[in-house]
Amino acid sequence: MDKEGIRGIVDEIAALASGSDRMNLMEVCGTHTVSLFRTGAKSLLPETVRLVSGPGCPVCVTSQAYIDLAGELALRPDTTVCTYGDMVRVPGRRGSLEALRAEGAKVAVVYSARDALAYARRNPERHAVFLAVGFETTTPATAATVLEAENEGLKNFYILGGHKRIIPAMHTLLSAGEVPIDGFLCPGHVSVVIGAGAYEPIASHYRKPCVVAGFELEGMLRAILLLVRQAVRYEARVENTYGAAVTVEGNRAARELTERVFEPSDAVWRAMGRIPESGLDLRPAYRRYDAMDRFGLSFGSEVTPHGCLCGEVIQGKALPTECALFRKKCTPREPVGPCMVSMEGTCAAWYKYGPARAEGGGNR
């Protein structure tokens, strides 16, 4: 779509929103946070429409106690921790995995769960533990990997379970009622798996508009337009602007794979605490792949770095710029909290992409 077309959508948003108070729309997903900046969408929106980030970055919501366990594992002489790159820089109590690696901890960066499995295969004399994090999009891949390990009879592959489910987290946010939210920009990738229908209860029970969007500028702006339109009309429905990829019921095969291997369980989210049914545990038949069981681990206590507002940021209660450490003590070079580490982290996005100058809209 050309600039005029984009302008048209933006003007329509501005016209609709002009009569009401400032509207708060939450982008649940970290990739939306980054894309909204990267495409310039934030700078195009009127002051009356404010986007706040939600708990949709898998790195940011992972508890610090989890990072500490990963560190403990990596320091064992016979164990290698295999992880997505973002995770190695998140500070734990004893430092990040990156820092521990310099002290001799074994950490291998992988791009997928299957890479971790391949590592286990290549190094039969070591235990390979995959840090299984991510939302509904990555879970099926982890499940498939566990099944593959089972098929092959691999004895040195484990996962440290950290997968999360987004809908329970949205429930928790809304029932706490502390954050004014006028609608949700729902994640494209996650919705491919769970389906647009998964947001029905959010829309009907809490009366919040939910619109699924992909990650290009036009799609995101269209979704914002639909959200604003619903909000000013006091409607609350699920709509989907990512119809090419997202159906109402989602990807059944992917969900079945997850259900075969995992069962819902309570999980601890960074700063949000324990959320019922928001995590996934290996089913008893696959428990032997659970690193917690195998190595007799248990979660320690959570210690939040002094002054860090990450917990507020991922719940839409604070903007990165409201954190006293932002750009000062906390930078991508020396991150204090995970929001500054992750590629999808809200603070990292604000740091990288804007706001550039004082002039311009309230979203910059």
Between 225 and 318, name the residue whose CB sits nearer to ligand SF4: 318
Nearer to ligand SF4, 135 or 286 (CB): 135
**Per-residue binding letters, 286-315, with other proteins (x by CB under 8 A):** ------------------------------
**Binding residue (CB under 8 A) for other proteins from 68, 86, 281, 290:** 86
Min dist CB 329 to ligand SF4, Å, is 7
Listed residue (183, 177, 174, 207) closest to 17, CA to CA: 183
Q: Please enumerate in sequence order all residues whose Cβ is within 8 A of that of 296, keeping only pairs 6 or more positions apart, or say none.
A: none
- The strand ranges marked E within 149-204 are 157-163, 183-186
Query: In degrees to the nearest 10, what's the CA dihedral of 24, 28, 30, 36?
Result: -40
For the segment 204-223, give every residue that binds other proteins (CB under 8 A): 215-218, 221
Tokens of 2: 């050309």
Helices first, then strands: H and E counts in the chain:
15, 11
Residues 6+ apart with CB under 8 A from 284: none
Which residues here bind ligand SF4, judged by CB under 6 A? 29-31, 56-58, 134-135, 137, 187, 189-190, 308-310, 313, 320, 323, 325-326, 330, 336-337, 339-340, 344, 347
Q: Which helix (H) or strand (E) holds 282?
A: strand 273-282
Choose between 69 and 190: whose C-beta lies nearer to other proteins.
Answer: 190
Count how many Cα atoms sit within 13 Å of the Cα of residue 51 in the half-sphere of its side chain.
30
Site for other proteins in 51-70 (CB under 8 A): 58-59
Nearer of residues 7 and 328 to ligand SF4, judged by Cβ = 328
Residues in touch with other proteins (CB under 8 A): 1, 3, 6-7, 30-31, 34, 37-44, 58-59, 84-86, 109-112, 114-115, 118, 133-135, 137-138, 189-190, 215-218, 221, 332-333, 343-344, 351-357, 360, 364
